[in-house]
Amino acid sequence: MKEVNIGHTAEPNCQLPAGDCQLKNVCVYCASSTQVDEKYFRAAQELGALIAQKGLRLITGAGRLGLMDTIQDAALAAGGEAIGVIPTFMVKEGWHHTGLTELIETHSMHERKQTMANLSDGIIALPGGCGTMEELLEIITWKQLGLYVNPIVVLNIDGYYDALLAQLEKAVDENFMRTIHAGIWKVATTPAEAIELLLTTPKWNKNIRKFAAI
Q: What is the pLDDT of residue 22?
A: 77
- 62 to 25, 103, 183: CA distances (angstroms): 15, 7, 29
Q: How far apart are CA 82 and CA 85, in angstroms?
A: 10
pTM for the structure as a whole:
0.89
Q: How far apart are CA 31 and CA 63, in angstroms?
A: 9
pLDDT score of 74 more than 60: yes
Locate the domains of the chain by residue range.
Answer: 20-204
pLDDT score of 195 more than 50: yes
Q: What is the pLDDT of residue 139?
A: 98
Let me know if domain 20-204 sits in CATH 3.40.50.450. yes
Q: pLDDT band at 193, cuts 50/70/90? A: very high
Q: pLDDT band at 214, cuts 50/70/90? A: low
- Could you read off the pLDDT of 37-58 as tens digits, one per residue? 999 999 999 999 999 999 999 9
pLDDT score of 90 more than 50: yes
Q: How far apart are CA 164 and CA 103, in angstroms?
A: 31
